[in-house]
Amino acid sequence: MFNLDVDPDLPTPELHRQLLQACDAVTAGERDGVANMANVAALMAAFLPHLNWAGFYRMVDGELVLGPFAGRPACIRIPLGQGVCGAAAATGETQLVKDVHAFPGHIACDAASRSELVVPIMRKGQVIAVIDLDSPQLARFTAEDAAGIEALARFLADRI
């Protein structure tokens, strides 16, 4: 149904453009947010090289709760302000962390993770979820990756 033969050597902006295009294709017309998050998590894992976790945490009753993902089992609940995901949700700002072990209060769900990118998904000025990407490589994520995932977050705000 979908071609997932992605060239990991594409320039980062083009890789993110193709990821967004694929996410549009799999979520178009689908109203179920969990189903859309599940397909997008699978696409992020397929499109973005050097990840060991890609997925979502949803805002539920004032805390982050694990959503669909691709990777090893993860922490189920994260309080606002704790860890990289909690910081992104509390501030509404992207967190690009080159070395998670240097991040105060980092929550180690997978000991193999070395760097992390977390982008809040906002609707009507409120955080409704975060996109969380982890990598076993130090400094895996760049400002171009952050811009690409921020564009994805804006796109998904009305589809999850």
Distance CA 87, CA 99 (A): 15
Distance CA 116, CA 138 (A): 9
Assigned domain for 2 exists: no
Full pLDDT tens readout for the chain, 160 residues: 566 778 878 999 999 999 999 999 999 999 999 999 999 999 999 999 999 999 999 999 999 999 999 999 999 999 999 999 999 999 999 999 999 988 877 777 777 889 999 999 999 999 999 999 999 999 999 999 999 999 999 999 999 9
52 neighbors 71 (Cβ within 8 angstroms): yes
Assigned domain for 34 exists: yes
DSSP state, residue 50? S
Assigned domain for 4 exists: no
**Pairing between strand 95-97 and 115-123?**
antiparallel
So what's the pLDDT on residue 107? 75
Q: Is 121 helix (H, G, I), strand (E, B) or coil?
A: strand
The residue with tokens 């996410």 is: 23
Assigned domain for 129 exists: yes
Amino acid at 159: R
Distance CA 49, CA 134 (A): 11
| Total number of domains constituting the chain | 1
So what's the pLDDT on residue 3? 64
Assigned domain for 5 exists: no
The residue with tokens 């105060």 is: 104
Assigned domain for 1 exists: no
**What domain range includes position 73?**
12-156
Assigned domain for 45 exists: yes
Assigned domain for 71 exists: yes
So what's the pLDDT on residue 8? 76
Whichever domain contains 45, its CATH number is 3.30.450.40
So what's the pLDDT on residue 104? 79
| C-beta neighbour count of 74 within 10 angstroms | 18
